[in-house]
Amino acid sequence: MLVLLILVVALAIIFGVADIRRSLITKPIFAVFKKILPPLSDTEREAMEAGDVWWDGDLFQGKPDWHKLHSFPKAELNSAEQAFMNNQVETLLKMLDDYKIVQEQRDLPKEVWDFIKREGFFAMIIPKAYGGREFSAIANSTIVSRIATRSLTAAVTIMVPNSLGPGELLMHYGTQAQKDQWLPTLANGTDVPCFALTGPEAGSDAGSIPDTGVVCNGIHDGKEVLGIRLNWDKRYITLAPVATVLGLAFKLYDPEHLLGDKDELGITCALIPTSHEGVEIGDRHFPMNMAFMNGTTYGKDVFIPLDWIIGGPEYAGRGWRMLVECLSAGRGISLPALATATGHIATRMTGAYGYVRQQFGMSIGKFEGVQEALARIGGLTYGLEAMRVMTAGAIDMKLSPSVVTAIAKYHMTEMSRTLMNDAFDIHAGKAIQCGPKNYLAHGYMGIPISITVEGANILTRNLMIFGQGATRCHPYVLAELEAAANPDAEQGLKQFDSLLLKHIGFALSNTFGALWQGLTVGAFNSAPVSGETAKYYKQLSRMSRALALSADFSMLILGGELKRREMLSARLADVLSQLYIASAVLKFYEDNGRQQGDLPFVHYNLQRALFEIGRAFDGFFVNFPNRVVARLLRTLIFPFGIGYKMPNDTIAVQICEALSKPGVVRDRITHLCYIGEDEQDPTGLMENAFIAMYAAQPLMKKIYQAQRAGTLPRKQPLLQTIEQALAAEVINVAEAEQLTKMNKLRFNAISVDSFKAGTLEAMGITSAEVV
């Protein structure tokens, strides 16, 4: 007891007396810390500090406040936004023929261009004071999603001016004169914007763009002014072929020190009319056979006045921060909207097709192999819609949650890729024959584009989600990095010392907390609700604590090496991502009134998320280089093993049953899907055939009973069976007419397109045009 008392007193003195603690504890740890965590570059620091920490911070720190999650306002359209959906959007949808747009015209028709400009589709984010719609993020997202279920080309065309580009940058950073000049013409469609960031030598590594601007004097409007001489070469620029105003990102240099004492000012953004002398709009790209405008732009020794910098001369060199902040918001609207649209149309049409298409005497949707894939389609679509709404809702709270939007971009585009592959498997031959009757092909072609843009998915998962999340979401690491980078060593040591005890306490709390939750399997965690979903809150709290603990150990053991161990850090990114996906689903379920019919979809998503978390942790433990620490973490977090399982077959069958019959659940899950009213529209044709077959179910039972009784023969064309059933008085005349009409709809719905000789050749592109 005496020894123990002496030890306690010694520790109290060491940690309690500031000078002793700094000398014996803080200073050695600080020295090691500075070695293992090298200082951030300027571009890394700006990217790290850009945006806001939101719900991702709660998840990362190990103690998510579920009441806080439920207190976030529900993202909903206001009356003006809903009226726009009901009128302008629906009118536009009826004007679109996506097959003609993509395969024949390779552009939107002139009347469509005129309509979207006139009706303010390009002005959704622009304030009303400048003639814009000033819509919310959820409205922007919902409008783009709805249009994308009809035409990806139209959706992308509308999406880009309302995402990262001149309008967004002007609203946040533009001078009053720039806003007054450009926002009204952007709002009414007189000007069409594009933003040129990506080039041949800089894609995901946008910070290394080779395009340059040099501050110098030159002639503009007949006068000598201070300006910039630009040289650039950009590609993959959406709307470039039709743009009238070019947003341009470049590195700005000031060798003559005309603006200050720096030679290199950094990335800068300027706004340039495409009619300006020297601006070249180059060739058009043809991304995955899609018809939206995309192409190149370049310029050599183009002189612009200094006040064309977005924000004016004082924003010279601040472009990278501007881009990262705007991209983190735009990334949460545009691509999630497209991914969700893929889910809505794939779910509604595949559920219908599974019922309409028959093989071996029954609807293929009855086969368990098909049901497994269809359940995945429906389950993922529910998750997509939940993430879309929650992420857009964060942006409407005037936040720019960079980690959350990176999660949304990566996982939602990957989820759409998975479910579209499943939809193709179920549709089989109908999916692969391109033509007016194919409602999946163009969405399938567009998925790789979403995977690639706004940060390629490999980069997003392996570097951005955890790399940024580990520093931004952690309560102490970013401040510790700033202390390490402090040029005043003594001041830096004091800053670090003030954080050290808090960090130690945080780590100890997570260590013992993770062990307790592992031993109790999270049973004593609280949940904000009762019922079937309560257990999920408890498990997510447990896994949040496990993430906080694993992240701290990873940064402690690996330090700066963790940045290069991308496969390892990506697994922790997966844990954070699945925690966010699960949170979004639970909030979505609560916000929509805890609908009983949604429960199979909720169970599917939560069980899948927990299974993916367990798999990510298992891969993390197996590959962590320090085997002692790996075994310790596994024992602390999962003392009885990782017990999470994928959803069972019962849940899959329940999802399929909901998607294979008309009803409120199916309508709610796929409410954004466009269904054409024209009898030749492929979605309307499939929907009508599905409804007709479902309505004829009682009549088909009469026929099946007669076949089993031997009154009617089996295995013959349905039309012939209907005639024989009428003759045998199994059905009456009205019933025979209903079945005949149903059979015609069924056959037309499962039919695919074919083309007469020479038709496709007349529509094709020559190799010279491609070059």
As given in the structure block, the two tokens for residue 519 are 């031993």
Note whether 679 and 688 are within 8 A (CB).
yes
Longest dimension (CA), the chain: 105
At 533 the three-state DSSP class reads coil
Catalytic residue among 168, 385, 414, 454: 454
As given in the structure block, the two tokens for residue 553 are 């150990």
Residues 21, 18: Cα–Cα separation, whole Å: 5
- Count of beta carbons in the 10 Å neighbourhood of residue 134: 18
- Count of beta carbons in the 10 Å neighbourhood of residue 767: 7
Nearest to 392 by CA among 163, 169, 727: 163
As given in the structure block, the two tokens for residue 658 are 């909901």
- Count of beta carbons in the 10 Å neighbourhood of residue 78: 12
At 116 the three-state DSSP class reads helix
Q: What is the DSSP letter of 190?
A: S
Q: Which amino acid is at 390?
A: M
Residues 74, 53: Cα–Cα separation, whole Å: 19
Q: What distances in angstroms separate CA 13 from CA 3, 20, 29, 383, 758, one per listed residue?
A: 15, 8, 18, 53, 91
Nearest to 248 by CA among 278, 272, 215, 223: 272
What would the DSSP string read from start to end of 270-328? Answer: EEEETTSTT-EEEEEP-GGG--S-EEEEEEEEEEEEGGGBTT-GGGTT-HHHHHHHHHH
Q: What is the DSSP letter of 679?
A: T
Residues with Cβ within 8 Å of 684's Cβ and at least 6 positions away in sequence, in order, are: 675, 676, 677, 678
As given in the structure block, the two tokens for residue 485 are 């980078």
As given in the structure block, the two tokens for residue 544 are 């949040």
Q: Cα dihedral sign for 452, 457, 463, 465?
A: positive
Residues 519, 361: Cα–Cα separation, whole Å: 52
* Whether residue 480 lies in the annotated active site: no
Q: What is the DSSP letter of 88?
A: I
Residues 227, 129: Cα–Cα separation, whole Å: 30
Helices (H), 680-732: 682-695, 697-709, 718-727
Residues 329, 162: Cα–Cα separation, whole Å: 11
Give the burial class of 247: count Cβ atoms within 10 A of its Cβ; 0-12 exposed, 13-18 middle, 19 or more buried: buried
As given in the structure block, the two tokens for residue 170 are 């002007």
Partners of residue 242 on adjacent β-strands: none
Nearest to 370 by CA among 669, 748, 652, 685: 652
Q: Cα dihedral sign for 641, 468, 448, 686?
A: positive
Note whether 108 and 101 are within 8 A (CB).
yes
Catalytic residue IDs: 454
